[in-house]
Amino acid sequence: MTDEKKSIVVGVPKETFPGEQRVAVVPDILPSFTRSGMKVIVESGAGQDSGITDAAFEARGGEVISSREELFSKSDVILQVRGFGANPDAGSGDVPLFREGQTTISFFEPLTSLKEVKALADKGVKLFATEMIPRITRAQSMDTLSSMATVAGYKAVLLAASKLPKMFPMMMTAAGTIAPAHVFVIGAGVAGLQAIAMAKRLGAVVKAYDVRPAVKEQVESLGGKFVELELETGDAEDKGGYAKELGEEFLKKQREMMLKVIAESDVVITTAAVPGKKAPILVTEEMVKVMTPGSVIVDLAAERGGNCELTEEGKEIVKHGVSILGPVNVPSTVPYHASQMYAKNLLTLLQHLIKDGELHFDLEDEITRETLLTADGKVIHSKVRELMGIENKS
């Protein structure tokens, strides 16, 4: 009689970051975890804020545990939306619960949370930061940043539409013709493209701009008009597909040329962020002043300092007659589908890491190498080591 192969136990604790409503795994994909050789245990109430009951997890094969300590002690892998680095205050309570050899996967903000990375390295934990997943074709289904940006772009348009004192679509009514709203999206990455698509669905006239001319075709395919700014941008995209930080002289000229477009816009949605750095100021106070009173700015870069000079993180303010929204943790405001997308990303990453029923960390593989921060009690990620001032071995 052969021994039954032991399942990899995956633990899903309840999120502790204030206002975080997402959960790292949803019931619908639990059978896929099981087929891949994993058993999922969930802390009671983990899905509550996403509209998911404990019974829903149990119905799809999950085990619900009331004790957080027990969940950590039984788990080979801990899946979270916000790990310690992205939740340094409340997350500190979880550090003593981790044990040597355990694996954890989450958003971690590793480029700005070096102390927290070191703390888990010292515990002997293998830490994967999902925002470090490389933007390559075979990793698309694991790309948590893109998934959450999709949700943020969608929600940004709804926030703008609810605040704007106009309707988005053109309408022919018995009382006359209602002109459509004009929306300007700055940054045509995943969030920006989703915002363009959503604004078009609502009937707005949409323009968009990005420092990467290559995205013009994508903007136009969604029905938006790409704003051409005849400037020498050089290489405005890094090897990971993200917009690079550009020089102040370029940004100065860019602002001057955007002034006219912004003056004609009812809504401006900004999405420009550079990983690990402060967001560039693209909308100045001078630009806000030329907008029509009642216009709306939604700044999706508010958590990184904002693309608008006047943005206040987490607040809605009115300056020069313009409503400026600086929402934070936007994906968490659509927690059901945000959790669904995030969970599928994590499942795909875990399936990539499992070989012959066991976790296997191949540092020759680009996905593993770029996402794994710590192993064997050390920080091993080259970029994070560099930021820590630790010499990388050649």
Which token pair is 323? Answer: 């409503």
CB-based burial of residue 83 (10 Å sphere; 0-12 exposed, 13-18 middle, 19+ buried)?
A: buried
Active site residue 140: yes
Q: Which one is catalytic: 140, 238, 362, 376? A: 140
Query: How far apart, in whole angstroms, are the C-alpha atoms of residue 368 and residue 387?
Result: 20
Contact 126, 135 (CB under 8 A): no
242 is catalytic: yes
| Catalytic residue list contains 143 | yes
On whether the CB atoms of residues 153 and 134 are closer than 8 A, the answer is no
Name all contacts of 115-119 with Cβ < 8 Å and 24+ positions apart: 116/83, 116/84, 116/85, 116/88, 116/91, 117/85, 117/373, 117/374, 117/379, 117/384, 117/388, 118/379, 118/388, 119/84, 119/95
> Which listed residue (60, 135, 201, 369) is catalytic?
135
Q: Distance (Å, rounded) from C-alpha 296 to C-alpha 268?
A: 6
Which of these is catalytic: 113, 146, 147, 295? 146
**Cα 147 from Cα 153, distance rounded (Å):** 10
Q: Which of 7, 44, 242, 369 is catalytic?
A: 242
Backbone angles phi, psi at 237, to 5 degrees: -130, 135
50 in active site = no
Token digits of residue 261? 């477009």
Cα separations in angstroms, 28 against 336, 337, 344, 371: 12, 12, 10, 26
Q: Which of 94, 143, 210, 299 is catalytic?
A: 143
Task: Measure the N-to-C terminal CA separation of the chain; round to a whole number of Å.
Answer: 49
Residue ranges in the chain assigned as alpha helix (H):
30-35, 54-59, 68-74, 114-122, 144-163, 190-201, 216-221, 248-263, 285-290, 335-353, 366-371, 382-388
Q: Are the C-beta atoms of 24 and 340 separated by less than 8 Å?
A: no
| Residues facing 375 on adjacent strands | 378
Q: Which residues are catalytic?
A: 135, 140, 143, 146, 242
